Structure 1
């Protein structure tokens, strides 16, 4: 009888395995197609993607790196983009840095000891700097090219000189405005934690910075009563109650996953789960598709990028600490994008629930590609 039960069980398990393999292969195929479409916007002269901005370019590059990490067929595109963007993109920097005199000295010292010039990637917005640091870390992860990691280190080195706000810690969003927002500080956390796990000789330094940022961030008013993260702080350092953007719920997840890897502490993943669950409750519709509140107005120019960033980091949390809720949200969003938010050119627009509508650009498309890549990573 026991033998018979095992014989019956084996085909069932095999069927489940084959079904999951088919879903994963389908997700990967869709991501490959979307990558090809994204590259229609890539400008080999500028090293960036036409129709979207400087910081969006960093996110386009990151999602390409994430796909290449899963799919060797994407490596040729990825390595070309990394190499070309490294050379070409600095000329398109809208506000070339470094942003402060302190950074001028710091970057001069950095440039003498490294082959890369991190100051070319500073643009007087500390959040933009963080996006590029994470993009170059992602490029390093799939190529192991030291220059990419050195570049990320240089950018982060510049960011540390901005530490200290009227709220007793953290960094402002740019050198000339004292506004303290969530995303800039989440990017600081995530960059420090990523570097801690990739630069053994300076692990202690980067881990200290990551812990310092998280301890300060968690003690501030960024996280609302329902567990979601608002946009930033008032001058009195209280939660400003501004929009619960999806990307603010996302970057922190990846940062906490990396920090937990660098310095294991069960509270880091507990905090990540708390934020992720609250975000899903707030941002997902009844079909499990993620939304931002601006979609009726097309979310231009910046928020077109936001949801993909959430998905990119949600899958990192799921891989580190699996949860069926996250799997459902990722699969539902990716499925809806492909079936309801795609035109005949395989372009992907801003409302993942559909229907597809213009305008569409490299930002909205690469954001949706993030969701497809997340589904392929499950």
Structure 2
């Protein structure tokens, strides 16, 4: 069962609603009699002064109602509705009801969880209070199994609660992590067949194609690579050639920051101050992917092969078969910096794509050595569960996305090797599901638990994991 958030109890008077809630009509309109529900699932509840406040879920019609039980006359119960995963409340006091004289319970009417007409992805909770006391108790947030019928689709739907349709990005307009979120959601569409959220592809593209330096390019070459790969995935899913053209523009932009210093390689940033593993790994994957999709190409194939040849010459894949963060421009060799998880997965992904392009078994063998090292490392996989060095307790910073890229690459390698990492992937997926999940199928940073506050970066990382798991 998911971990239940503690009931919210506040010693405050009930505020009046700021405005009347707009009626949502999906299959049925808000305010439907709960007696008409064909099912009654009760995932969360809270208690206060002996009263029990319960969320009742009608999964068939994607609606929810609330109830107060073991109460007294004048006790109150209502629903709150949120369209951002419970961070704010869009509608409060829905279905407000009081226990009548001579009774001990009361229920609200049913209300829609989502708003299909506005593509708002929602959640509801039941709240209430004793009639003679000011304290309020609310349950944890809950939703129906609509667009959330299994682990993968539930995680995807939770991630969409953090999507801003107005900006086409996630949370606070984060850039490269939004690219990873888009990639994870596209893979979920491919894996699950759920196309309810495919609108985000065109929306994200249209709202951001002219941002930064245009065509999803900015001063960070790894950011450009992440976006280029997102548009490769979008092209594969939709067949829309504009996404392929943008991926090509991104790869060409990255090529302008390749030079012969230290024998080759793409710089991490346009200031040309460092050459790191991440942007070069992404460049291998992006150029190899383009070559496979452009009839008669030789240019991108050559660039992919040249980058892998250069990468090997630097020693960034260390003696333990793990990838360090970059090279020293003074020695042109491995700088010995942290073996972040995403450096492993990004290079694995690039090598699998290069193997698909060339058929070179040595390339796949190199990817396999890195995959074996990643899964066996007590530093990166303590107890067999992937963990980021200096893993955040708050899902803050760039590192919150790293494990997603790592496990995405391992999942691609797992497919290429016929399931060599099935056990590892399933172990991680099961552990995250049981130890690192709340009632809305949000996941935090620690796959081994405990659950901590999340954001889109931690969420897409687990979605990547669930996509990759067998």
TM range (shorter): 0.7 to 0.9
Gaps of 5+ in 1: 1-26, 98-118
The CA deviation string for residues 47-98 of structure 1, in whole angstroms up to 9 with x for no partner, is 001146200010000011111111222x2312x011101111246x4xx22x
Distance 2:307 2:272 in 1: 19
User: Larger relative contact order (C-alpha < 8 A, sep ≥ 6)?
Assistant: 1
Flag the structure with higher helix content.
1
CA shift for structure 1 position 317: 0.9
- Other-structure match for 2:215: 120
CA shift for structure 1 position 344: 2.0
**Is 2:412 aligned against 1:316?**
yes
2:215 touches 2:249 (CA, 8 Å); kept in 1? no
1:52 touches 1:363 (CA, 8 Å); kept in 2? no
Structure 1 moving runs of 4+ over 3 Å: 296-299
- Other-structure match for 1:341: 436
- Other-structure match for 1:294: 390
CA shift for structure 1 position 337: 1.1
Distance 1:293 1:363 in 2: 16
Q: 1:320 to 1:171 in 2, by over 3 A?
A: same
246-255 or 292-301: bigger deviation = 292-301
Give 2:160's match in structure 1, choosing from 28, 39, 55: 39
Distance 1:369 1:245 in 2: 19
- Other-structure match for 1:213: 307
Normalising by the residue count of structure 1, what TM-score does the alignment of the two structures yield?
Answer: 0.81
Distance 2:387 2:202 in 1: 34
CA shift for structure 1 position 293: 1.4
- Other-structure match for 1:70: 191
Give 1:247's match in structure 2, choosing from 342, 359, 380: 342
CA shift for structure 1 position 205: 1.4
Distance 1:28 1:224 in 2: 42
Distance 2:161 2:201 in 1: 16
The number of aligned residues is 320
Q: Which of structures 1 and 2 has the bigger CA Rg?
A: 2
CA shift for structure 1 position 147: 1.0
Give 2:382's match in structure 1, choosing from 264, 285, 304: 285
- Other-structure match for 1:22: none
Distance 2:163 2:208 in 1: 11
**1:1-378 pair list within 5 angstroms:** 29-51=150-172, 53-73=174-194, 75-78=195-198, 80-90=199-209, 93=211, 96-97=212-213, 119-202=214-297, 204-235=298-329, 236-282=331-377, 283-286=380-383, 288-295=384-391, 298=394, 300-324=396-420, 326-358=421-453, 360-375=454-469, 378=470
Distance 1:52 1:369 in 2: 19
- Other-structure match for 1:20: none
Normalising by the residue count of structure 2, what TM-score does the alignment of the two structures yield?
Answer: 0.66
Q: CA RMSD in A?
A: 1.6
Distance 1:216 1:28 in 2: 46
Distance 1:299 1:41 in 2: 14
Distance 2:317 2:217 in 1: 28
CA shift for structure 1 position 264: 1.2
The secondary structure found in structure 1 opposite 2:279 is helix
